[in-house]
Chains A and B, each alone.
Chain A
Amino acid sequence: MTGEIMFLILTLCLWVGVYLLGRGIFAGIRLIFNAPGLDRSTLTKQLAVSSGLGGILLLVSSFMPKDLGRANPDSWIPIVWIYAPIPGWMLILAAVMLIWRLIQSKTALTAEERKSRFAASLIWAGVGVAGFLWLKGMSGQISILRGALPLHWPMVFGLAGLSVAAMVAMIFAEKTTAARGVAKKFTAQIALVVGAVIFSVPFVWLLTTSFKEERDLANTDGIVWVPLVQETYPYMDPEKPLYEASFEGHAVRVRKDSDTAGGKWLVEVERPYGLRGRRFEVPAGSLKEIPRDQKIWSGEVSGKLYTAFTVLDLEDGSRLVEVMQPAEMKGQRLTVTPDEVEPVRHQGLRWENYSDALEWMPLETGFGLAYLINTLWLAGMSVLGTVLSCSIVAYGFARLRFPGRDPLFFLMLMTMMLPGAVTMLPQFLIFTGLGWMDSLLPLWVPTFFASAFNVFLLKQFFSTIPMELEEAARIDGCGYWRTYWQIMLPLVKPAMAVIAIWTFMGAWNNFMGPLIYVNSPAKMPISYAMGLFASDRGTDQALMMAFATMSTVPVLLLFFFAQKYFIEGVQLSGMGGR
Chain B
Amino acid sequence: MNSGIRILFLALFVCFFALGSAQKPVTITVWGMAITPDEKGNDLLVRQFERDNPNIKVKLLGMGAGAMNPQKLMTAIVGGSPPDVIMQDRFTISDWASRGAFRSLDDLIERDRATDPYCPTPDQYYPAAWNEAIYDGKLYGIPFAADDRVLYWNTQVFAEKADDLRKAGLDPTRPPRTWSEILAYSKVLTEFNPDGTLKRAGFIPNEGNSWLYMFAFQNNADFMSADGTKCTLNTPAAVEALQFMKDGYDILGGYENTLKFKSGMQGKENDPFAIGQIAMIINGDWRIAEYARYSPKAKFLTAPAPVPDDRFYKRGRFANEKDTFVTWSGGFAYAIPRGSKNVDASWEFIKWIQSLDGRMLYAKGQADLEQSRGRKFIPRIQAHIKATEQQVARYASGDSVYDQALRTHAEMMPYAKLRPATFVGQKLWDEHVRAIEQACRGAQTPEAALQSGQTRVQLILDEYYSKDDYPQVNIAAWVLGAFGVVVIGLVVWVALMIKKGKGRVSVQETRAGYAFISPWIIGFLVFTLGPMVASLVFSFMNYDVLNPAHFVGAKNFTDVFVVDRDLLMKALENVGYLAVVGIPLGLSTGLAIALLLNTGAKGIRFYRTVYYMPSITPTVASTFLWVWIMTPDNKRGLLNNLWNNTITNWFGVASPGWLTVEPWAKPALIMMGLWGAGGAMILWLAGLKGISRTLYEAAEIDGASGWKQFVSVTLPQLSPLIFFNSVMAFIGVLQTFDNVYLITKGENMGPNDTLATPVYMLFNNGFAYFRMGYASAVAWLIFFIVMAVTLVQFKVAPRWVHTEVDR
Q: Give Cα distance in the complex from A340 to B497, angstroms.
A: 87
Report the minimal beta-carbon distance from B759 to chain A, rounded to whole angstroms.
Answer: 5
> What are 8 inter-chain pairs, A to B, with CB distance below 8 A?
A393-B517, A396-B513, A396-B516, A400-B509, A405-B513, A450-B520, A567-B682, A570-B683
Asked whether, in the complex, the Cβ of B725 is within 8 Å of the Cβ of A519, the reply is no
Contact of A188 among B601, B616, B689 (CB under 8 A): B601
Q: Would you give the 0/1 interface string for B429-454, flagging 1 where the beta carbon is closer than 8 Å to chain A?
A: 00000000000000000000000000
The segment out of B76-84, B112-120, B130-138, B325-333 that lies at the interface is B76-84
Q: Would you give the 0/1 interface string for B596-619, flagging 1 where the beta carbon is closer than 8 Å to chain A?
A: 110111100001111111111111
Asked whether, in the complex, the Cβ of B635 is within 8 Å of the Cβ of A402, the reply is no
- Other contacts beyond A192-B596, A389-B519, A548-B621: 9, CB < 8 A: A360-B36, A393-B517, A422-B779, A425-B534, A426-B534, A480-B509, A515-B741, A545-B625, A549-B621
Report the minimal beta-carbon distance from B428 to chain A, rounded to whole angstroms.
Answer: 26
Residues of B within 8 Å of A535, CB to CB, are 62-64, 67, 745
Asked whether, in the complex, the Cβ of B516 is within 8 Å of the Cβ of A508, the reply is no
Asked whether, in the complex, the Cβ of B81 is within 8 Å of the Cβ of A438, the reply is yes
Instruction: Name the prevailing secondary structure of the A interface residues.
Output: helix
The segment out of B196-204, B279-287, B351-359, B645-653 that lies at the interface is B645-653
Contact of B78 among A424, A432, A449, A512 (CB under 8 A): A432
Known: A188-B601, A205-B625, A570-B682. A277 touches B663 (CB 8 A): no
Q: Give Cα distance in the complex from A199 to B625, angstroms.
A: 13
Asked whether, in the complex, the Cβ of B527 is within 8 Å of the Cβ of A449, the reply is yes
Within 8 A of A (CB), among B618-645: 618-622, 624-626, 628-629, 633, 635-636, 638, 641
The segment out of B39-47, B149-157, B558-566 that lies at the interface is B39-47
Asked whether, in the complex, the Cβ of B371 is within 8 Å of the Cβ of A185, the reply is no
Say yes or no: is B787 at the interface (Cβ < 8 Å to chain A): yes
Q: Give Cα distance in the complex from A430 to B479, angstroms.
A: 12
Say yes or no: is A256 at the interface (Cβ < 8 Å to chain B): no
Known: A85-B663, A209-B628, A422-B783. A220 touches B523 (CB 8 A): no
Find the B residue at minimum CB distance from A89: B581
Report the minimal beta-carbon distance from A187 to chain B, rounded to whole angstroms.
Answer: 9
Asked whether, in the complex, the Cβ of B376 is within 8 Å of the Cβ of A317, the reply is yes
Say yes or no: is B477 at the interface (Cβ < 8 Å to chain A): no
Q: Give Cα distance in the complex from A417 to B527, angstroms.
A: 15
Q: Give Cα distance in the complex from A276 to B50, angstroms.
A: 13
Residues of A within 8 Å of B23, CB to CB, are none
Q: Give Cα distance in the complex from A206 to B120, angstroms.
A: 48
Instruction: Count chain A CB atoms within 10 A of each CB in B597, B614, B651, B675 and give the residue with the most.
Output: B651
Report the minimal beta-carbon distance from B538 to chain A, rounded to whole angstroms.
Answer: 7
Known: A429-B545, A530-B624. A397 touches B735 (CB 8 A): no
Q: Would you give the 0/1 interface string for B668-686, flagging 1 where the beta carbon is closer than 8 Å to chain A?
A: 0000000100110011001
Q: Give Cα distance in the complex from A217 to B762, angstroms.
A: 37
Asked whether, in the complex, the Cβ of B81 is within 8 Å of the Cβ of A576, the reply is no
Asked whether, in the complex, the Cβ of B523 is within 8 Å of the Cβ of A422, the reply is no
Known: A191-B596, A313-B372, A407-B493. A418 touches B532 (CB 8 A): yes
Asked whether, in the complex, the Cβ of B35 is within 8 Å of the Cβ of A362, the reply is yes
Say yes or no: is B738 at the interface (Cβ < 8 Å to chain A): yes
Say yes or no: is B792 at the interface (Cβ < 8 Å to chain A): no
Say yes or no: is A318 at the interface (Cβ < 8 Å to chain B): yes
Q: Give Cα distance in the complex from A149 to B652, angstroms.
A: 11
Say yes or no: is B494 at the interface (Cβ < 8 Å to chain A): yes
Known: A219-B635, A220-B635, A426-B538. A449 touches B618 (CB 8 A): no
Contact of B621 among A150, A397, A532, A551 (CB under 8 A): A551
Asked whether, in the complex, the Cβ of A422 is within 8 Å of the Cβ of B593, the reply is no
Q: Would you give the 0/1 interface string for A371-401, flagging 1 where the beta carbon is closer than 8 Å to chain B?
A: 0000000000000000001001101110011
| 10 cross-chain pairs, A with B, having the tightest CB-CB distances, nearest first | A449-B523, A396-B516, A437-B79, A402-B513, A277-B47, A426-B531, A423-B531, A426-B534, A147-B651, A536-B62
Known: A317-B376, A426-B531. A527 touches B618 (CB 8 A): yes
Report the minimal beta-carbon distance from A314 to chain B, rounded to whole angstroms.
Answer: 7
Residues of A within 8 Å of B591, CB to CB, are none
Q: Give Cα distance in the complex from A393 to B514, angstroms.
A: 9
Known: A83-B653, A199-B678, A437-B81. A559 touches B510 (CB 8 A): no
Find the B residue at minimum CB distance from A535: B64
Residues of B within 8 Å of A512, CB to CB, are 737-738, 741, 763
Q: Give Cα distance in the complex from A481 to B516, angstroms.
A: 9
Asked whether, in the complex, the Cβ of B80 is within 8 Å of the Cβ of A432, the reply is yes
Residues of A within 8 Å of B783, CB to CB, are 418-419, 421-422
Residues of A within 8 Å of B601, CB to CB, are 185, 188-189, 192
Residues of A within 8 Å of B596, CB to CB, are 188, 191-192, 195
Residues of B within 8 Å of A71, CB to CB, are 652
Report the minimal beta-carbon distance from B655 to chain A, rounded to whole angstroms.
Answer: 13
Within 8 A of A (CB), among B436-479: 479
Say yes or no: is A571 at the interface (Cβ < 8 Å to chain B): yes
Report the minimal beta-carbon distance from B446 to chain A, rounded to whole angstroms.
Answer: 22
Say yes or no: is A472 at the interface (Cβ < 8 Å to chain B): no
Q: Would you give the 0/1 interface string for A186-215, flagging 1 where the beta carbon is closer than 8 Å to chain B?
A: 001101100110011111011001000000
Residues of B within 8 Å of A435, CB to CB, are 80
Say yes or no: is A306 at the interface (Cβ < 8 Å to chain B): no
Say yes or no: is A328 at the interface (Cβ < 8 Å to chain B): no
Asked whether, in the complex, the Cβ of B531 is within 8 Å of the Cβ of A404, the reply is no
Asked whether, in the complex, the Cβ of A199 is within 8 Å of the Cβ of B675, the reply is yes
Say yes or no: is B248 at the interface (Cβ < 8 Å to chain A): no
Residues of A within 8 Å of B67, CB to CB, are 535
Q: Would you give the 0/1 interface string for B31-56, flagging 1 where the beta carbon is closer than 8 Å to chain A?
A: 00011110000011011001100000
Known: A148-B650, A218-B635. A429 touches B600 (CB 8 A): no
Q: Give Cα distance in the complex from A205 to B67, angstroms.
A: 30
Q: Give Cα distance in the complex from A159 to B471, angstroms.
A: 77
Say yes or no: is B214 at the interface (Cβ < 8 Å to chain A): no
Q: Give Cα distance in the complex from A146 to B647, angstroms.
A: 11
Asked whether, in the complex, the Cβ of A536 is within 8 Å of the Cβ of B47, the reply is no
Say yes or no: is A541 at the interface (Cβ < 8 Å to chain B): yes
Say yes or no: is A142 at the interface (Cβ < 8 Å to chain B): no
Report the minimal beta-carbon distance from B549 to chain A, rounded to whole angstroms.
Answer: 12
Say yes or no: is B721 at the interface (Cβ < 8 Å to chain A): yes
Asked whether, in the complex, the Cβ of B509 is within 8 Å of the Cβ of A401, the reply is yes
Known: A192-B596, A319-B374, A400-B512. A424 touches B616 (CB 8 A): no
The segment out of A15-23, A30-38, A98-106, A408-416 that lies at the interface is A408-416
Contact of A421 among B479, B501, B735 (CB under 8 A): B735
Within 8 A of B (CB), among A424-472: 424-430, 432, 435, 437-438, 446, 448-450, 455
Q: Give Cα distance in the complex from A215 to B271, angstroms.
A: 18
Q: Give Cα distance in the complex from A74 to B53, angstroms.
A: 75
Q: Give Cα distance in the complex from A484 to B509, angstroms.
A: 13
Q: Would you give the 0/1 interface string for A127-161, flagging 1 where the beta carbon is closer than 8 Å to chain B?
A: 00000000000001000011111100000000000
Asked whether, in the complex, the Cβ of B517 is within 8 Å of the Cβ of A551, the reply is no
Contact of A392 among B498, B516, B762, B772 (CB under 8 A): B516
Asked whether, in the complex, the Cβ of B628 is within 8 Å of the Cβ of A563, the reply is no
Residues of B within 8 Å of A531, CB to CB, are 620, 742
Asked whether, in the complex, the Cβ of B593 is within 8 Å of the Cβ of A338, the reply is no
Say yes or no: is B277 at the interface (Cβ < 8 Å to chain A): no
Contact of A205 among B44, B80, B501, B638 (CB under 8 A): B638
Asked whether, in the complex, the Cβ of B528 is within 8 Å of the Cβ of A455, the reply is no
Residues of B within 8 Å of A548, CB to CB, are 620-621, 624-625
Say yes or no: is B530 at the interface (Cβ < 8 Å to chain A): yes
Known: A196-B610, A432-B80, A577-B725. A419 touches B635 (CB 8 A): no
Instruction: Count chain A CB atoms within 10 A of each CB in B376, B608, B675, B686 and give the residue with the most.
Output: B686
Say yes or no: is B12 at the interface (Cβ < 8 Å to chain A): no
Q: Give Cα distance in the complex from A206 to B514, angstroms.
A: 51
Asked whether, in the complex, the Cβ of A403 is within 8 Å of the Cβ of B498, the reply is yes
Q: Would you give the 0/1 interface string for A521-540, flagging 1 where the beta carbon is closer than 8 Å to chain B?
A: 10000111011101111100
Asked whether, in the complex, the Cβ of A274 is within 8 Å of the Cβ of B608, the reply is no
Q: Give Cα distance in the complex from A534 to B63, angstroms.
A: 10
Asked whether, in the complex, the Cβ of A559 is within 8 Å of the Cβ of B621, the reply is no
